[in-house]
Structure 1
Amino acid sequence: MSHELKYPFGNVTIHDNYVIAVMNEGITVTPELNDVLEDISEQFFTNKNFVYITHRINSYAVDPNIYFRTSKIQNLVGFAVVTGKKIVIDNTELESVFLTKPFKAFSKLDDAIIWANALCK
């Protein structure tokens, strides 16, 4: 299963065990955008675990308060950040403090996908 959703803030691709989000350049990810993730959880992953993968191709800001709501999505079993930039990987350490789910940074998308599939087994 692969299904692409387009939003004003970016694109989300749905797969069997995970979603991959690519946010638009310059946006700020706020807690209000978490409504979209909650809707995706309900629509595509009813009674099924999944992992959220954010592929940080573009530069954008994240309000860490979003993770308090993200942590409440019961069937979300992991959160991955994919980036090739060391400074972004360093920033994810701060972000991980706000999330109560497994949180991991990767430099390659394929590695994040392997991790996501393993978490969902």
Structure 2
Amino acid sequence: MADVLYFEFGEMRIFSNFVLVIMKEGITVKPEYNDDLLEVSEKYFRDRPFGYITFRKNSYAVNPMVYFKTSEIKNLVAFAVVSTDGLKIANLELEKRFLKKPFKHFKNLDEAKMWVNEMIDNTPG
């Protein structure tokens, strides 16, 4: 792990192939938060593929419009959600419709990391 970055919405842990994001309790994820993700992608993953893992251990809302901007990040090749909460899992089907990237749900972090790394390994370069 290279860095841990703190933002208004939560924390982002930077790994060699992906970011792991833990959102703050009670927030609403807004499209403008993508500006921070874009900056991170340019600083840490310039010209190479990376993945995004959100570890949904806190309760928060997601404005699905956020995914339109997330979809524009060219080198983002995988989006994983880790959650065991049934309601959060049900919301994923709606969220998945807005993101134009591979999007997958996992019940544990290790499986999400493996999938993201596989997606990166299989990205033509």
Q: Would you call these one fold, judging by a TM-score over 0.5?
A: yes
Corresponding residue of 1:110: 110
Matches for 1:84-99 after TM superposition, within 5 Å: 84-99=84-99
Corresponding residue of 1:70: 70
Q: Show CA shifts across 1:2-59 (max 9, x none).
A: 3111112200001011100000000010001110110011000001100110000100
Q: CA deviation at 1:86?
A: 1.5
Corresponding residue of 2:9: 9
Runs of at least 5 residues in structure 2 that lack an aligned partner in the other structure? none
Amino acid at match of 2:99: L
Rounded Cα–Cα distance in structure 2 between residues aligned with 1:116 and 1:4: 19
Corresponding residue of 1:32: 32
Structure 1: which 4+ aligned runs deviate by more than 2 Å?
none
Corresponding residue of 1:83: 83
Rounded Cα–Cα distance in structure 2 between residues aligned with 1:2 and 1:120: 18
Q: Identity of paired residues, percent?
A: 50
Amino acid at match of 2:83: T
Q: How many residue pairs align between the two structures?
A: 121
Amino acid at match of 2:48: K
Matches for 1:22-61 after TM superposition, within 5 Å: 22-61=22-61
Normalising by structure 1, report the TM-score: 0.97
Runs of at least 5 residues in structure 1 that lack an aligned partner in the other structure? none
